[in-house]
Amino acid sequence: MNDHPIPQTQHGALAEELHALRQRTGLSGKEFAAQVGWAPSKVSRLENAKQMPSRADIDVWVEACDAAAEEAADLRSLLRDSQTDRQEWRRRLRRGLAAVQVDYNQLVADASEIRYFETAVIPGFLQTAAYARRILAEMSELHGLPAGDDDAAVAARLRRQQHLYDVTKRFTFVLAEPVLRWGLCPPEVMRPQLDRLLNAAELPNVELLILPLGVKLATTPQHAFQLYDEVAIVDTATTELVFREDEAAAYLRLFDRLAAEALGGDHARRLISDAVAGLGRANGSLVDAPGRVAAGPQDLRS
């Protein structure tokens, strides 16, 4: 019988492996902690999946347990997998759109630096009510959610914008230029939405950058993602992925590369103004198409 029960997640599997290796040494948790110079409580938290080990923690554990090279490689692989939380949207949305928005609002409240890279939609922090309603209604339809939750979801998303005025937080938004031009909404919705971008760019703790079309790029803008301090979030069509530690650091490096190639200040404002002017030239051709799926589940957070 397993005398060390842990939920069978990747993190749980990693904790069990650490526990098994330590037991093999014949040392108690307290003796093992003394050997490596840690508090006994840290060993307990790591073995019971109450704390995520760092790469350095794994290195210390491997050396102290005299683990074989293959065992060490397995532990590091488990660590990489453990740093990713995976949730399917069909389960994530069982509580409705509004509950998900409230969860994201708390994530923002707890973070001090928020960074977004977007390829499809205006970030939720910068959305008008009409734009948010269009995006969330599409998500409700796409995932087959019952009617009646959209109003509460829009209200919850708009409450998130109060954090833009908290000068202890810093926001950096990198938008691919097509975000300004996708025909997700009719001109009467897009025009005030683009004006909202211009106004937000004037806030002292907000940096708005546009990755322009028609220029040579060193980094491919593959997909949208967000960073909340040291946590990275990526959405696919069916799944939300949350990355920490090494995986999140990779997204931070990618964000820095994309931001370095994007345009800010007057250049960004000019691109936004050009998009506004393009609405006038469209002569009403940008019409709402509620049956068309034009964006991915990142809209739930964006």
Whether the per-residue pLDDT at 8 is higher than 50: the answer is no
Whether the per-residue pLDDT at 9 is higher than 70: the answer is no
Residues 213, 123 share a domain: yes
Among 27, 51, 82, the domain-final residue is 82
Residues 290, 150 share a domain: yes
Please report whether residue 101 resides in a domain.
yes
- Using 50, 70 and 90 to split pLDDT, how confident is the model at 44? very high
Whether the per-residue pLDDT at 280 is higher than 70: the answer is yes
Q: Which amino acid is at 271?
A: L
Residues 112, 78 share a domain: no
pLDDT tens track for 102-130: 988 998 999 999 999 999 999 999 999 99
Question: What would the two tokens of residue 287 be?
Answer: 């019409």
Residues 47, 184 share a domain: no
Owning domain of residue 45? 10-82
Domains identified in the chain, total number = 2
Residues 92, 72 share a domain: no
Whether the per-residue pLDDT at 204 is higher than 60: the answer is yes
pLDDT tens track for 55-77: 899 999 999 999 999 999 999 88
Residues 106, 75 share a domain: no
- pLDDT at position 90: 73
| 235 within 8 A of 300, measured Cβ to Cβ | yes
- pLDDT at position 295: 38
Residue 42's CATH number = 1.10.260.40
Residues 255, 216 share a domain: yes
Residue 236's CATH number = 3.30.870.10
User: Structure pTM?
Assistant: 0.71
- Using 50, 70 and 90 to split pLDDT, how confident is the model at 246? confident
Angle, vertex CA 156, rays to CA 104 and CA 271, nearest 5 = 80
Helices 10-24/40-47 angle, 10° precision: 130
pLDDT tens track for 124-157: 999 999 999 999 988 888 888 776 688 899 999 9
